[in-house]
Amino acid sequence: MRDNLYSKLSSLDRTINEPARLSIMAALYDLKEADFVFLQRLTGLTRGNLSAHIYKLADKGYIAVEKRFVGKKPVTVCRLTPEGERAFREYVRVLEDLVKGKGD
């Protein structure tokens, strides 16, 4: 049981298991899409910090980043990919199991 809990703990996705990236993933999970300005406001990260974490998540294929116009304004829009959604759900599930002490 204890070994299982340890193996669960080590199975937590390391890309998501970082406070800033977890905040970005959690914010995007309920949004269809959002731009940098909005994510910066919601997560409280600096622009450079946010940008670095976004591109790390994008490299992993969890987030799709796209530059386009909303109205007349150019924006950098981010959204979770289906793979990102799956990874986030799995991360939360493992976390819940750990909190409940389930090591099955």
Partner 1 sequence: MKDRINGIRKEARASWWEDGITEIVAGLGVLVIGSVGISGYALEGRVPPWSYAVFILLMVALAFGIRWVVLWAKERWVWPHTGYSVVKGRGGKYLIPFYLIVFALLALAFLFPSYTPIVGGTVGAVILVSLALYNGLRRFYALALLSFVLGILLYSVGIRDDRATFLILIGVGSVMFFLGVLRFARFKREVSSAHEG
Binding site for partner 1 (CB under 8 A): 19, 22-23, 26-43, 70-71, 73, 75, 77, 92, 95-96, 99
Q: What angle do CA 94, 27, 100 make, to 5 degrees?
A: 25
Residue nearer to partner 1 on the CB measure, 36 or 56:
36
Q: How far is the CB of 50 from partner 1 (least distance, A)?
A: 11
Q: How far is the CB of 43 from partner 1 (least distance, A)?
A: 7
For tokens 């199975």, what's the residue? 11
Question: Which residues does 76 contact at the CB level (< 8 Å), separation at least 6?
Answer: 35, 36, 65, 66, 67
Residue nearer to partner 1 on the CB measure, 15 or 43:
43
Alpha carbons 91 and 13: distance in angstroms, whole number: 6
Residue nearer to partner 1 on the CB measure, 48 or 71:
71
Q: How far is the CB of 7 from partner 1 (least distance, A)?
A: 19
Sign of CA dihedral 44, 49, 53, 55: positive
